[in-house]
Homo-oligomer: A and B are copies of this chain.
Amino acid sequence: MTLQRKPKVIDVARLSGVSTATVSRVLNDPAVVSEATREAVLAAVKQTGYRVNRAARSLRTNTSRTILALVPNLSNPFFSNILSGLERELSAADYSLLITDSGDAKLTADHIQRYVAAGQADGLIILDGGVDLQQLEVVQSAAPTVPIVFACEWVEGFKGASVRADNAGGIRMLVDHLWQLGHRKFGHVSGPDTNVLSHYRQRAFEQHVVDLGGELRPEWILPGDFSIAAGKHAAAQVINMPEKPTAWICASDQIAFGLIAGLTEAGVRVPADVSVTGFDNIEMTEVFNPPLTTIHQHRNKMGNEAARRLLAQLHDYETEVNTPTVMPVYLVERQSTGPVSKKVEMCSP
């Protein structure tokens, strides 16, 4: 219990009467050491309170046991959910999680290299679909042994692993749900047009409405950016439309909140006059008035899965590196959707 300097392998070795090599072996590859020695060493480890010095280990093995997550905006709860899943899985495998927030700035190869080339990270998890493909390829060719896995978002054309939600499937579920309620005229408020999720959701929307034989008009597709403000802005436009869809599929829950708030303010009732759906099933959807029909995705599990795929690549037992993992999503029916109403047209001011 005397507080000395930090114990090192040599201290453990002396105490247990073996060499440093043996101590190291007990810690890294116990099977090669005889049981008696192993126990003696472990006892000495416990007694001294020894912990390997990560810097020394990293230097020698050229490995950091650390994964870097690149997040476009840490404040965004979506990302933190994924991070949470990541962290659990990584720490269980004795890996640490380093996080950097690319912030407003576009992520550059240089920024990533600050970590990778310095040997600070053995692998990368990228939550930011806005990275430039060329920059990514620079990183890949400079550090070919450092695996990269995309989680949630991804970059089209990137050669490597990704874990994503079934965005198209989710949209189809929503359209089907509304279709069954009798809706035939659909509108969409989209996400930011630089975002890959926006594209997938919008494309699936258009495709599926057409496939079902519903009515689809270009002016019923409004641009947005996943935010509440975008939803409010869309509401202002909707109100002035001469002819309106009876159902709006929004690219995010937040857009739906804004849209509903704006419509409600203008006297349009949801779902009596018009149905609205979200995407993501954030916590608030349940308590919003009306509770929002939306798509739920397990962001935590996406984090887990991304971590698993990364570790698999690190340990060379991943076979299908380039195949994306598509995680299932679920329809959550609440009260923002209802049977189509005949009097929608009359609600225009």
How far apart sit A77 and B80, CA to CA, in the bound complex (Å)? 7
In the assembled complex, A11 has its CB within 8 A of some CB on chain B: no
Do B141 and A3 have beta carbons less than 8 Å apart?
Answer: yes
How far apart sit A88 and B105, CA to CA, in the bound complex (Å)? 12
In the assembled complex, A2 has its CB within 8 A of some CB on chain B: no
In the assembled complex, A52 has its CB within 8 A of some CB on chain B: yes
| Contact among B75, B103, B300 with A75 in the assembled complex (CB-CB below 8 Å) | B300
Do B99 and A83 have beta carbons less than 8 Å apart?
Answer: yes
Name the B residues within 8 Å of A6 (CB-CB).
Answer: 117
How far apart sit A75 and B78, CA to CA, in the bound complex (Å)? 8
In the assembled complex, A237 has its CB within 8 A of some CB on chain B: no
* Interface hits, A68-114 → B, CB 8 Å: 73-77, 79-81, 83-84, 87-88, 91, 96-101, 103, 113-114
| Contact among B53, B54, B141, B228 with A283 in the assembled complex (CB-CB below 8 Å) | B228
How far apart sit A56 and B64, CA to CA, in the bound complex (Å)? 11
Do A96 and B120 have beta carbons less than 8 Å apart?
Answer: yes
In the assembled complex, A118 has its CB within 8 A of some CB on chain B: yes
| Contact among B59, B81, B91, B283 with A56 in the assembled complex (CB-CB below 8 Å) | B59
| Contact among B54, B74, B81, B300 with A118 in the assembled complex (CB-CB below 8 Å) | B54
| Contact among B56, B81, B99, B261 with A287 in the assembled complex (CB-CB below 8 Å) | B261
How far apart sit A249 and B53, CA to CA, in the bound complex (Å)? 50
Do A84 and B73 have beta carbons less than 8 Å apart?
Answer: yes
Cβ proximity bits A174-190 to B, threshold 8 Å, 1 near / 0 not:
00000000000000000
Ranked 6 nearest A-B pairs via Cβ: A55-B58, A80-B80, A74-B84, A77-B77, A55-B59, A51-B117
Q: A58-B58, A75-B84, A228-B287 are in contact. List 13 more A-B contacts (CB 8 A).
A: A53-B119, A54-B55, A54-B58, A54-B118, A59-B59, A66-B98, A73-B84, A75-B300, A77-B80, A264-B289, A288-B288, A288-B289, A289-B289
Q: Which residues of A contact B (CB under 8 A)?
A: 3, 6, 49, 51-56, 58-59, 64, 66, 73-77, 79-81, 83-84, 87-88, 91, 96-101, 103, 113-115, 117-120, 141-142, 228, 232, 254, 257-258, 261, 264, 283-284, 286-289, 300
